[in-house]
Amino acid sequence: MDRSAGGGTAAVIRKYDVRAQKKYGQNFLRDENVLRRIVEASEVTKEDTVLEIGPGTGALTAFLSESAGEVIAVEIDKKLIPVLEESVGQRENVRIINADILKTDIRELLIGREQGGCIRVVANLPYYITTPVIMGLLESEAPIDSMTVMVQKEVADRMLSLPGKKTYGALSLAVSYHTEARAVMEVPPECFIPRPKVSSTVMHLKVRREPPVRAADEKLLFDIIRASFNQRRKTLANGLKNYPGITCSMDRIVEAIELLGKGTTVRGEQLSLEEFARLSDLLGK
């Protein structure tokens, strides 16, 4: 089947004279083997609804539409909407929306579509909005079962990072708390038009039904996590004391850190998710 008008990403770009917009961080995926691997990794079935973020020219949309029950493709670039309408818009199970995903009520968009199947997010994410999009999806309370996303390799490393590493931070902890994450494959720059300067990684995030740790106050837990990495050079105690959302005295903060068995010079990057959960319970009492 001719999946995208003209038979491929490069052909579509030539036909419609598509110009990548730097302001949207556009790099169009052209390698069909990678496109197939993304669809396979997403585990999408005919019972599922897929939210695709940034469909671009519709190359991945076309592959997804053959495996999914419905594909909701959200594209911010209005110049690409006519391209998408012609390349994949005639397919009965594809819905194209011209919108900014960061300003979209994701829960409202997806609610009710989980009946009988799963809701899966699939995206080739622009590097500059990767973290806001992923955090927005995780915190949206939308009934999402999994996310299969192409991200900058550096971001993938941060997602999978462990305590004590320089790449470890708030994103690592949020991904660990909300999902079971794994790297699917690394994708070199030559698989895109235009070529980015760095390699990418396809990540599969299976959303947890229950978090791996229990915290009495989830909001406080993530306030503490954000405070701990807001200024990485500061000690954990100073980071917490200077964060607007945390009102505990320095004495109480120090006491809680010591109850964890840590010294007062410990930094946030040295604490595990379990230790952050215990710290939030100590400070929340």
User: Where among 177, 207, 237 does a domain terminate?
Assistant: 207
Check residue 152 and give its pLDDT.
Answer: 95
**Residue 269 and residue 176 share a domain:** no
Give the residue among 161, 113, 144, 123 at the shortest CA–CA distance from 29: 123
Which among 155, 174, 207 is the end of a domain? 207
Based on the fold, state whether residues 261 and 174 are members of the same structural domain: no
pTM score: 0.90
Q: Out of 178, 207, 236, pick the residue that ends a domain.
A: 207
What is the distance between the alpha carbons of residues 258 and 280, in angstroms, rounded to a whole number?
Answer: 13
- Token pair listed for 100: 């900014």
- Overall domain count for the chain: 2
Per-residue pLDDT of the chain (285 residues; tens, 9 = 90+): 344 433 476 677 677 667 767 777 888 898 999 999 999 999 999 999 999 999 999 999 999 999 999 999 999 999 999 999 988 999 999 999 999 999 999 999 988 887 778 999 999 988 888 999 999 999 888 999 999 999 999 999 999 999 999 999 999 999 999 999 999 999 999 999 889 999 999 999 999 999 999 999 999 999 999 999 988 889 999 999 988 878 889 999 999 999 999 998 999 999 999 999 999 999 998
Q: What contacts 66, CB < 8 A, 6 or more positions away?
A: 1, 3
Tell me which amino acid residue 214 is: R
Do 63 and 171 share a structural domain?
A: yes
What is the signed CA dihedral for 263, 268, 272, 274, rounded to 10 degrees?
80
Residues 99 and 137 in one domain: yes
Residues of the domain holding 275: 218-284
Please check whether residue 4 lies inside any domain of the structure: no
Q: Let me know whether 154 and 265 are in one domain.
A: no
CATH of the domain at 71: 3.40.50.150
Distance CA 31, CA 62 (A): 13
Q: What CATH code is carried by the domain that includes residue 251? A: 1.10.8.100
Burial class (CB within 10 angstroms; exposed 0-12, middle 13-18, buried 19+) of 166: exposed
Residue 10: burial class (beta carbons within 10 Å; 0-12, 13-18, 19+): middle
Considering the domain architecture, whether residues 110 and 223 belong to the same structural domain is answered as no
Q: Within this chain, do residues 127 and 250 fall inside the same structural domain, yes or no? A: no
- The three-state (H, E, C) secondary structure of the chain, written as one string: CCCCCCCCHHHHHHHHCCCCCHHHCCCEECCHHHHHHHHHHHCCCCCCEEEEECCCCCHHHHHHHHHCCEEEEEECCHHHHHHHHHHCCCCCCEEEEECCHHHCCHHHHHCCCCCCCCEEEEEECCHHHHHHHHHHHHHCCCCCCEEEEEEEHHHHHHHCCCCCCCCCCHHHHHHHHHEEEEEEEEECHHHEECCCCCCEEEEEEEECCCCCCCCCCHHHHHHHHHHHHHCCCCCHHHHHHCCCCCCCCHHHHHHHHHHCCCCCCCCHHHCCHHHHHHHHHHHHC
Is 212 contained in some domain? no
